[in-house]
Amino acid sequence: MSFHRMAKQFTSTININRALMRRDEMMIVTIGYQDYALPTKDAITLLELLSKAERYEDRYVSKDSKENTTGEAYHTFHVYENDTVFNAKVIPNEKYRMAKLAGKPERS
């Protein structure tokens, strides 16, 4: 890719980000199966941080587990590449305010 084209792409990304940050809208960030509402600027910051994060997992192996060969319960600890799906979408402020008024849904 030529330097000019790369610079143009980079400039376009910056302009898109600036436009998003000026908008009076919220973003919905989806991490795994949960959605979070944030101001656009904060959502972009969160997504940038998440893209750098590694996953950490502490697994408990019970003494009755098939994979346990020691006869004692123990923990294993793991750090690995972040494969969690996360994305974001912009929602208009009117929709955000309507959802905010509705509050937490009742579960039946």
Contact 96, 37 (CB under 8 A): yes
pLDDT in tens, the chain (108 residues): 444 444 444 444 554 555 555 556 899 999 888 999 999 999 999 989 988 899 999 999 888 888 888 888 989 999 999 887 778 899 988 999 999 999 999 987
pLDDT of residue 6: 45
CA angle 70, 76, 80 (to 5 degrees): 145
Name 21's Cβ contacts closer than 8 Å, sequence gap at least 6: 40, 41, 44
> Residue 39 burial by CB count (10 A; 0-12/13-18/19+): exposed, middle or buried?
middle
